[in-house]
Amino acid sequence: MTLPATADADHPADTGRIFLIRHGETEWSSNGRHTGTTDIALTDHGRAQATALGPELATIRFAQIRTSPMTRAIQTARLAGLVDPEPIIDPDLVEWNYGDYEGVTSDEIHRDRPGWTIFADDAPGGETADQVAARVDRVLARTKGDVDGGGDVALVAHGHVLRVLASRWLGRSGRFGSHLALDAASLSVLGTEHDVPLLRTWNRCPGLPTDLGGQSEETVGSSDRVRPSPP
């Protein structure tokens, strides 16, 4: 099934959408290491995942394409065929800065901080959820003109930052992203219905047998221990 068939059934012609594309697998995401500012390329499997996105996006004419400056995101955009219009490199789409937890697995963190999650507890020496939310608010502001005019926008980035962005689209705090699992090389679509922001499609994984086949964020399993977050 193509994305227009899954996302467009109730899509008014005068309402634009935001397509969120999480990059494909990397070596660090496959073994559970938090990957924020470290620039790592896709694995062979990650490149295949990114290529599988192409048919899902081929019929969409985007008014604007933005990508994180990280290699894994730029590769995903290119392999998925997101080349027209030329992607804008947007530093505000870079992944959450994990500070002292960069390259560390959740299991390793939990030895000293049982129950820790990035959304509830932030990262020492890194960014807070509010700081990430401020970044994605700027991204949404840059897309507003096209979306309000009925144009579609594609954002290619990372698991945590896209979960925060979706939360802000819904009018929630960045910490609400703890409730929005996002797999590698997944497609999600933000839109509106009667002027109410909503999720039209979430965590669709082309080429995988089910939506449970990828990593749930920049690391494997770090969203498994979720605590309630503020609205």
Residue 226 lies in a domain: no
For residues 158 and 166, the answer to whether their CB atoms sit within 8 Å is no
pLDDT tens for 33-78 read 899 999 999 999 999 999 999 999 999 999 999 999 999 999 999 9
CATH number for the domain spanning 90: value is: 3.40.50.1240
The model carries a pTM of: 0.86
Alpha carbon distance 45, 200 (integer Å): 27
CA proximity to 72, closest of 43, 104, 113, 109: 43
Residue 155 is classified by DSSP as E
Residue 210 lies in a domain: no
Residue 188 lies in a domain: yes
Q: How big is the chain by its Cα radius of gyration, in Å?
A: 16
Residues catalogued as catalytic:
23, 95
Domain count across the chain: 1
Parent domain of 156 = 20-204
For residues 39 and 70, the answer to whether their CB atoms sit within 8 Å is yes
Residue 224 lies in a domain: no
Residue 209 lies in a domain: no
Model confidence band, residue 206 (pLDDT cutoffs 50, 70, 90): confident
Question: How far, in Å, are 2, 118, 226 from residue 137 at the CA level?
Answer: 29, 19, 24
Residue 225 is classified by DSSP as S
- The pair of three-digit structure tokens given for residue 163, joined into one six-digit string: 């979960």
Residue 189 lies in a domain: yes
